[in-house]
Chains A and B, each alone.
Chain A
Amino acid sequence: MKDVKSPASKNMTPGKGGLNAEIQSRIGHQLRAMYDDVVRQGVPERFAELIRKLDVPEETSQVGNNGGPTEDGRE
């Protein structure tokens, strides 16, 4: 188990624990294609709304955070 090669080397040599480079790049490509397919859908309205709504502190009794100017302690 210790002989696993560092994937950072993206080794071209098919050896023990190493992957055929072409197969490895196909896997990487498919993985990103699947992932990016979802990323490209952007932010569904449901979540945009959720975050907008929760920005208004209506659940807590703390009032005064409602879009008012922030304190000076900015970086």
Chain B
Amino acid sequence: MPLTESLRDDILASVPSLRAFAISLSGNGDRADDLVQETLLRALANIDSFQPGSNLPAWLFTILRNLFRSDYRKRRREVEDAEGNYAKTLKTQPAQNAHLEFEEFRVALDKLPQDQREALILVGASGFSYEDAAAICGCAVGTIKSRVNRARSKLAALLYVEGAEDFGPDETVRAVIGGNG
């Protein structure tokens, strides 16, 4: 559909959650905003392919997610120690809310496999249904569910090690916890 005023307003209204998604995925504010910008440009350039009445946020999140994935692959090749720099990036960000627990959470989130991280964010923070999240990630609903479950288990194991036996992480998770010792 052509870009109407109301569609434009809807896109604008999606920007805050697009940014939140981008930051959650990339862990880096500047890079996240570049991703959002690219997402918006791409969305506007392809606005004709948006089906009126369909889920606009899901459409925009799909674009962002795909951009992030291709960008991530590219960067991984370019900067080998990108992951090592991630922790430093966190510390240099203005930290109004970033008390220790908050940072720990972000670091733990970043340790999840990308598939699990994005599934967890889409369902647990963005508020998408499992069906929408599956559409965004291009996979089956059951796959999203199991990714979300695994993400939660892994985060719990990373963040609340002391409670680990309460929910019995599998051996791989234990190996991750004890991996540095």
Contacts and interface: CB of A to CB of B under 8 A. Distances in A.
A54 B11 CA distance: 12
A19 B156 contact: yes
B66 interface: no
Interface string B6-46: 00100110011101110110000000010011001100100
Contacts of A30: 101-102, 105
Interface of chain B: mostly helix, strand, loop or mixed: helix
Contact of B16 (A18, A27, A28, A39): A39
Interface string B117-135: 0001101111000000000
B144 to A, nearest CB: 10
Contacts of A15: 167-168
Contacts of A16: 168
What band does the interface of chain B fall in when counting residues whose beta carbon is under 8 Å from A?
35 or more
Interface in A2-34: 4-7, 14-20, 23-24, 26-28, 30-34
Interface of A: 1, 4-7, 14-20, 23-24, 26-28, 30-44, 46-48, 50-51, 54-55, 65, 67, 70, 75
Interface of B: 2-5, 8, 11-12, 15-17, 19-21, 23-24, 33, 36-37, 40-41, 44, 52, 97, 101-102, 105-106, 109, 120-121, 123-126, 145-146, 148-150, 152-153, 155-156, 159-160, 163, 166-168
Given A20-B167, A39-B20, 11 more contacts: A1-B146, A7-B152, A14-B168, A15-B167, A16-B168, A35-B17, A36-B20, A37-B97, A38-B16, A39-B17, A51-B11
